[in-house]
Amino acid sequence: MGGLWTRLLALLIGMQGVFCIQVKMETAVYGIVGGTVKLWCSFSSNYPTSDFVTVDWSYRLPEGGPTDTILHYQSKAYPILQGAFKDRVKWEGDMKRGDASISLIDLKLTDNGTFSCTVRNPPDVHGNVPQTKLTVTVESLHFKFTSVILLSGMVFIPAFLVTLVLLIRMRYAIKRGRSKDQKLKKCPIEAQDCGSSSPLLPNASLDQTPNNLWQCCVRFVGTDYDDDC
């Protein structure tokens, strides 16, 4: 008889371990000073969600210590009315969907710490109590400014370099064209010194002077001696 009661007791204890409420949370959440962050919490129970379901959100400092309740839910949400989180906790849950999430508004650096979500749905009152680590940081204006400069540089610097190269090439081409024009203008005048002694036309007559001058000009233009032609 005693063995039967022992087996029944062990069976009840085993069933209690199997049939327990399951709660899930994110491991870590990040926020920015002055912003809003959602602390997600979901649960599943072996019993239909009743009006007696309760949710307790607690906070603990990063260095540890006791936990402080910041919100209690039973039929409706009861956020904390005093302390660091006063008027900054907003209920976001939906019991019918197994959602017990909250939001923290107007984040501060002092909000860093660990948050836990405890859900009870009688008679399913036993279950795990997960935790979420919140890290709040300052959004650096310097980082924003640096990012803008970097993106602008990636766009405008290549365009500036291409434009600069094109301007240099255009200026070089214009200068070269002017140099050629000056050569063509100087050759007919300076070619008078070529005369009949030109190696191109050693026996040229006066009647052949235009052709002689042209050949002399061509000879000078074909060279790199910019001072003469």
Summarize the confidence of residues 146-169 as an average pLDDT: 76
Q: What was the pLDDT predicted at 27? A: 95
Q: pLDDT by residue (tens digit) across 191-200?
A: 444 444 444 4
Distance of CA 100 to the CA centre of its chain: 31
pTM of the predicted model, to two decimals?
0.55
Superfamily of 18-139 according to CATH: Immunoglobulins (2.60.40.10)
Crossing angle of helices 141-190 and 209-221, in 10° steps, is 150
Q: What was the pLDDT predicted at 165? A: 82
Summarize the confidence of residues 7-14 as an average pLDDT: 43
Strand-pair partners of 135: 30
Amino acid at 154: M
Interatomic CA distance for residues 223 and 158, integer angstroms: 39
130's enclosing H/E stretch is: none
**Residue the block writes with tokens 């610097």:** 157
Tokens of 181: 């024009």
- The three-state secondary structure class of 170 is helix
Interatomic CA distance for residues 16 and 116, integer angstroms: 23
Q: pLDDT by residue (tens digit) across 104-136?
A: 999 999 999 999 999 999 988 888 899 999 999
* 67: region left, alpha or beta (phi > 0 left; psi from -120 to 50 alpha): beta
Residues 6+ apart with CB under 8 A from 215: 198, 200, 201
